[in-house]
Structure 1
Amino acid sequence: MEERLLLSSSFGAAATAYAEHRPDYAQAAVRWALELAPGLRILDLGAGTGKLSATLVALGADVVAVEPDPAMLSELRRALPAVRALPGSAEAIPLPDASVDAVLAGNALHWFDMAVAGPEIARVLAPGGTLAGLWNVMDDRVDWVAGLERVSGSAAIGPRDTLSSWRAATADLLAPSPGLAGFGSPEQTDFPHGQRRTADSLVATLATRAGMLVMADPDRAAALGSIRDFLGSRPETAQGEFTLPMLTGVLRVRRL
């Protein structure tokens, strides 16, 4: 529990870099998560700097964002001034009962204490509403991506960061439990995605991972140096821009 809290609270120190370098979410994945209709009331929970909120706004949703970290919340408000953005957490949501049609979490659901957050999410969801987590994962079926994972280590590319590990690592997050009483069976799928990167910007992206943010400075510098050397050695990534092969994975469950 202490390690989870340490990691989950690390992002504020890198809020500006997070906003600059983290990817958006595949629109097809968001549409599947929601079966989106115009004007749907959606809570972006653990909204960070607003990456998922921006996709939801582009799809015409009525979005309210909730984020516990002040620095991340400040970046969200700067980037999306028209979005209602509130301080709060999955365990204490500052919204009335049955006030949203869906609750989405972008790269955040695994940080929630679902024993507490589950009943809170159920409280704010209208009957028949959807809870969905979305994760951007690297496609390690691609040879150079698999090599990057080996070089980077788990601090930079963790168990929910690649396609081969994502399904197993997330499947139990919405498993039947007292915290999720009143929800149906979870469904899981993924959608193609990608992000234009250079070697330097991909290193900067990986530097925003929680495991990297809590490392001692010399260790982090050494890890990022190894990643940079690997990218410089590969023809796919050594020169100019390239597309980082990704997918947006979705795990959803409906309130009964």
Structure 2
Amino acid sequence: MTDEGARSFGLAASIYQAARPGYPVEAVAWLVGDAARVLDLGAGTGKLTAALVALDREVIAVDPVEEMLDELEVQVPGVPRILGTAEDIPIEDASVDAVVAGQAWHWFIPERAIPEIARVLRPGGTLGLVWNSRDTRAGWLHEAGEIMHERHDASATFETYVDVGPPFGPVEEHTVEWIDRMPRARFLDLVRSRSYYLTAPESEQRATIAAIDALLDRHPDVAGAAELAVPYLTRCFRARLAD
């Protein structure tokens, strides 16, 4: 993660925690299989950590942003928290059964992160990557994405992100479709939690929120709605380390 990106997420840790969705249990269970000890890499405020704890896994949380880990301690107390990066993971060799990353792989430098992940995994261990992406087949969400300057259609391009390669085996994929119901205010906070918004000038931030407000007022699918039904695709990818 860039220094600018880290600073922006640090300043918005509480907004990130309140606005961003969690992960469906089905998706997380598939991601880690029977792994007992799991490293959540780029753990942020603990969205994925919480799902792993709910599945009764032993979890270690690593993130480069102290404010994010402070928020994680509030949300998922008792989980070991370590400042670190994917390129320099501060734990012992062959010490975890799985390494997972939620909404984070695109911040990593793969040529440095992949050897580090392989180092901390036990033989046959799992690398699991997961993204929640809003399902832009819903027209109003497609328009919202354009306003928010989303950099890619995530559902079409994750495969290029997860070309992990040796020493990992083939990448498997699993998708879970679900609905996150939220008030309008939380959707606006979701916009405010995105890296593009966080690093934009204040005038552009105001313009973005105004445009999203206008969209929610006029689009027939959401105009006047007290609650927004936001469809998500949770895209999961996993690969196993060679024994």
TM-score (norm 1): 0.88
CA offsets per residue over residues 205-237 of structure 1, 9 Å max, x none?
111100110000011110111011101223443
* Matched-pair identity in %: 39
1:247 alignment counterpart: 233
1:175 alignment counterpart: 163
For structure 1, list consecutive stretches of 5 or more residues without a partner in the other structure: 160-164
1:28 alignment counterpart: 26
Letter in 1 for 2:86: A
- Number of residue equivalences: 241
Deviation at 1:9, TM superposition (A): 4.4
Query: 4-13 or 56-65, which moves further after superposition?
Result: 4-13
Q: Within the alignment, does 1:136 sit opposite 2:121 as a pair?
A: no
Residues 140 and 215 in structure 2, CA contact (< 8 A), matched pair in contact too: no
Deviation at 1:8, TM superposition (A): 4.8
Deviation at 1:5, TM superposition (A): 4.9
Residues 174 and 253 in structure 1, CA contact (< 8 A), matched pair in contact too: no
Deviation at 1:132, TM superposition (A): 1.3
Whole-Å Cα distance in 2 between the matches of residues 219 and 20 of structure 1?
22
CA offsets per residue over residues 86-135 of structure 1, 9 Å max, x none?
11111111111110000000100110011111111000001111111111
- Counterpart among 205, 212, 217 of residue 227 in structure 1: 212
Whole-Å Cα distance in 2 between the matches of residues 118 and 249 of structure 1?
20
Q: Within the alignment, does 1:206 sit opposite 2:191 as a pair?
A: yes
Residues 18 and 205 in structure 1, CA contact (< 8 A), matched pair in contact too: yes
Letter in 1 for 2:10: G
Whole-Å Cα distance in 2 between the matches of residues 250 and 97 of structure 1?
25
- Counterpart among 9, 12, 15 of residue 14 in structure 1: 12
Query: 181-190 or 202-211, which moves further after superposition?
Result: 181-190
1:87 alignment counterpart: 83
Whole-Å Cα distance in 1 between the matches of residues 173 and 197 of structure 2?
28
TM-score (norm 2): 0.93
Letter in 2 for 1:250: C
Query: What are the within-5 Å matches in structure 2 for residues 60-79 of structure 1?
Result: 60-79=56-75
Letter in 1 for 2:183: T
Deviation at 1:14, TM superposition (A): 0.3
Whole-Å Cα distance in 2 between the matches of residues 210 and 153 of structure 1?
10
Residues 6 and 64 in structure 2, CA contact (< 8 A), matched pair in contact too: no
Query: What are the within-5 Å matches in structure 2 for residues 19-168 of structure 1?
Result: 19-36=17-34, 40-150=36-146, 152-154=147-149, 157-159=150-152, 165-168=153-156
RMSD: 1.7
